[in-house]
Every structure is written in C-alpha cells, then in structure tokens.
C-alpha cells in the first residue's frame, strides 16, 4: 500500500468576463473604495456557462499537467455548492466530458471548504488502497445564487474552477496532515434557503441569501486558528518549516491575520482575492495553480493551508509539494469567450430580483 497521495497535476478555469467594483457601483450603493479597503477585492469573474463546464476545463488542465489520460482516473470528486442540477451530479458530467467510463464520481458540499475536504478524503482513499489516481475539483458559479440587490454579500463572490490530480506514491508528498471540522451551531449565519424544503409553488423569484458577515469573520478566525494549530501539532512542524501560506480567499484582512499567525511574510503568502473575490471551493486549487505558475511554490516546498465556509465548515492542511513544478503537457486551456460582458450577465439577475422584492413589498 502506498503511503502518500502526491499532487501530480494542477489546473484552473477562470471565465473571461470581469466584473469590477466600479461596475457594481453602477447598480448598487457601494464604492470601489469600500470594497477594496474592507475586503481587498478589485474584480471578480462571471461565468456564462455552468459549473460543470468550468470544472471540465480545470480538469483537462490538471490531467495535462500530470501527463495522464482521463481513462486512468479511478475517482472524480467535485467540491461545489452550485451544481448545475441536483441530480445528476457535476462529477458525472465531468466524467462524461473527459471520456472516462469507469471512475467513481461524486460531489461534495462543504461550501468554501469543499476542496480541502475533498483533498482530505481523497488522500485517505489513496492511503487505504481504495483508489490510486484521483481528480479533485473545486468549481462554483456563485454569481447565479447571489441576491444582487444585497450589497453586503453581492460584492464578495465570483465564479471559477480549479483541480488537482492525486496519485499514490511512496515519496513523502501531498497532504501530510489535515483537520476538517464544522461549527454547526452557527450554520444559519450563512445560508441559501433554496432546496427541497423550499415552497416551489409559492416561489416568487427570491432565493434568500442570509449572510451575517461579522459573525462569519469571528468564527472563521477561531476555527482556522484551531485547525492550523492541530495540523502543526500532528506533524511536529513549526512555522519555521513553512515555505508558503495558501489560504482561502474570503477577505484580505482574514488572510493577513492568518499570515501573522503562521509567521509567513507577505511575499510567501498567496493572495489573489483582488482578481477573483471569493470563489468558494474553487479558491484553493486556483490559488495553488497560480502559486506554482508564478514560482512561489518550489520543488519539495512545505505549504500550510486553511479554509472555512458555510456550515460553518473549517479546516487546515500541511502539504508537501513534489519535485515537479512544470506541467508535463500544456495546461492553459480556457473557456471560449462568448462576447458577453459581466454586466450583460448580471444585470438581468439584479433587475429580476429587485422587481421580485418590490412585488413582495418587504425589501
Ligand atoms: N458597500 C458599501 N457599504 C457597505 C457594503 C458595501 N458593499 N456592505 C456593507 N456596507 C456597510 C454596512 O451597511 C455598514 O454600514 P453602517 O455602519 O452604516 O451600518 C458598514 O458598511 C459596515 O458593515 P460591516 O458589516 O460592519 O463591515 P465589515 O467590516 O464587517 O465587513 C465583510 C463586512 C466584508 C462582509 C466582513 O464581515 C467579512 O469579510 N466577513 C467574512 C465573510 C466571509 O468570509 N465569508 C466566507 C464564507 S462564504 C461561503 O462559504 C460560501
């Protein structure tokens, strides 16, 4: 039995349409200054296609980086809270579009923590011998579920996908330690009330997105703190052993806090929130991809990661990168540009939701 799950491939997919803070200020009572200083976000991407299409592009790029063919995969695991459909899952669309006929394929929803949850369980599956070559994806089309009339949450999120290939290995690499947990007492501070308990016959077009930012912030700090301490204790590593920090990107102030706690300087902390906002489960694999592409991650590096999200789920991991930081085949496939601007895609959602709130009369 192989002891490790080495990361041998990495890929991302960022939709081409960019929604800037100034674009948001054309229809919301907000400003570039407020968003930039409170969150660190400057722009985010808006997808014209569904979650599974972005997931497939990220997956193809990860397979190319690993030099694998899709048929070799025996598990496809997609972290998402924005599936195209409830049934069938996104993972089956990925399997079909990649041309794989035999892998197990399922989705996992731990909101923004889904990718780290996925890495955690995929690594365990490889260690037990249950699977050998696993594709883990984080993919989200959050712009479809937001209430675009609510400035406190609408400015924070964006679309995208990222993926990694894990392969059984004897070389010490991959997720060396991880801790995933959930602070369910606070599950209502972040919720989208649109599921099977929803009254579909009374549906008036409003999908209530509850978001209590300060409470999430406070609990995220506490949860990530505990999770990071646990993975350090488990490995016996200290902050001196860490080469870089690749955290969830929900708020620049939270990233700064984590960097201080892990004693990692700014130049070794991966920050891309300014370009993409919070892409939920896609955040971590996109950040890893860019860290490798930009040379921040070097062969054999030790990386600490921490995440949190709706649930409130939370987790941390210590990852040892392998010896290869260059893709085996070209991994720069992108989505075709449909020519639609981000405002073309968002304004109908904003106008429809605004009209629905006005009709309900309780905005
Ligand atoms: N533009 C302008 N003003 C705004 C905006 C906006 N977009 N949003 C809120 N404000 C106003 C508020 O109305 C408030 O005004 P008031 O003082 O007159 O009442 C003021 O700005 C301050 O609002 P706060 O909520 O106190 O601002 P805060 O500094 O806490 O920042 C934020 C809010 C950015 C949401 C922060 O709390 C945060 O990042 N929380 C964590 C969120 C998060 O990380 N979520 C991740 C999980 S997501 C998932 O799992 C899918």
To the query of whether residue 278 is one of the catalytic residues in this protein, the response is yes
To the query of whether residue 112 is one of the catalytic residues in this protein, the response is yes
Contacts (Cβ under 8 Å, ≥6 apart) of 238: 232
CA dihedral 284, 253, 15, 112 (to 10 degrees): 40
163-185: pLDDT as tens digits: 999 999 999 999 999 999 999 99
Q: Tell me the mean pLDDT in the region 269-282.
A: 98
Average pLDDT value for the chain = 96
Q: What residue's CA is closest to ligand 1, atom 44?
A: 250
Q: Tell me the mean pLDDT in the region 270-277.
A: 98
| Domains detected in the chain | 4-326+337-362 (3.40.47.10)
Q: What residue's CA is closest to ligand 1, atom 35?
A: 213
Q: Output the pTM of the full model.
A: 0.97
Contact 321, 176 (CB under 8 A): no
Point out the catalytic residue in the list 179, 248, 251, 331: 248
Q: Tell me the mean pLDDT in the region 13-38.
A: 98
Distance CA 78, CA 297 (A): 24
What distance in angstroms lies between residue 207's CA and the mean position of ligand 1's atoms? Answer: 20
| Per-residue model confidence (pLDDT) at position 357 | 96
How many percent of the chain have pLDDT more than 90? 93
Ligand 1 pocket test, pick from 19, 32, 152 with the greatest ligand atom count within 8 Å of Cβ, gives 152
87-130: pLDDT as tens digits: 999 999 999 999 999 999 999 999 999 999 999 999 999 999 99
293-348: pLDDT as tens digits: 999 999 999 999 999 999 999 999 999 999 999 999 999 999 999 999 999 999 99
CA dihedral 37, 39, 41, 44 (to 10 degrees): -150
| Per-residue model confidence (pLDDT) at position 362 | 58
Place 356 in a pLDDT band, splitting at 50, 70 and 90.
Answer: very high
| Per-residue model confidence (pLDDT) at position 200 | 87
CA dihedral 186, 182, 245, 264 (to 10 degrees): 60
Q: What residue's CA is closest to ligand 1, atom 14?
A: 152
Cα dist from 75 to 66, 95, 239, 305, 327, whole Å: 15, 9, 33, 23, 21
């Amino acid at each position: 039995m192989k002891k490790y799950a080495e990361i041998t491939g990495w890929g991302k997919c960022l939709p081409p349409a960019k929604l800037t803070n100034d674009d948001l200020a054309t229809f919301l009572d907000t400003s570039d200054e407020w968003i930039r200083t409170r969150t660190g976000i400057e722009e985010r991407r808006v997808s014209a296609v569904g979650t599974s299409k972005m997931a497939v592009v990220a997956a193809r790029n990860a397979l190319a980086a690993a030099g694998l063919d899709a048929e070799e995969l025996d598990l496809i695991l997609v972290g998402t809270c924005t599936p195209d459909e409830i049934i069938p899952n996104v993972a089956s669309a990925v399997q079909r579009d990649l041309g794989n006929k035999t892998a197990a394929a399922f989705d996992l929803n731990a909101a923004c923590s889904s990718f780290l949850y996925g890495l955690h369980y995929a690594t365990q599956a490889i260690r037990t011998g249950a699977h050998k070559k696993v594709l883990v994806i984080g993919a989200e089309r959050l712009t479809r579920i937001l209430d675009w009339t609510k400035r406190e949450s609408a400015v924070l999120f964006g679309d995208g996908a990222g993926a990694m290939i894990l392969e059984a290995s004897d070389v010490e690499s991959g997720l060396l330690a991880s801790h995933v947990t959930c602070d369910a007492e606070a599950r209502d501070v972040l919720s989208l009330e649109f599921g099977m308990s929803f009254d579909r016959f009374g549906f008036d077009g409003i999908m209530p997105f509850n978001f209590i930012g300060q409470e999430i912030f406070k609990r995220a700090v506490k949860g990530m703190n505990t999770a990071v301490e646990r993975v350090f204790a488990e490995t016996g590593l200290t902050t001196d052993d860490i080469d870089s920090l690749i955290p969830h990107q929900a708020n620049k102030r939270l990233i700064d806090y984590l960097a201080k706690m892990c004693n990692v300087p700014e130049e070794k902390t991966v920050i891309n929130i300014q370009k993409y906002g919070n892409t939920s489960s896609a955040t971590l694999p996109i950040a890893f991809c860019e860290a490798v592409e930009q040379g921040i991650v070097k062969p054999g590096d030790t990386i600490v990661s921490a995440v949190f999200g709706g649930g409130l789920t939370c987790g941390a991991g210590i990852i040892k990168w392998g010896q290869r930081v260059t893709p085996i085949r070209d991994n720069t496939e992108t989505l075709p540009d449909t020519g639609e601007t981000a405002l073309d895609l968002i304004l109908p959602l904003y106008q429809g939701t605004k009209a629905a709130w006005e009709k309900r009369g309780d905005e």
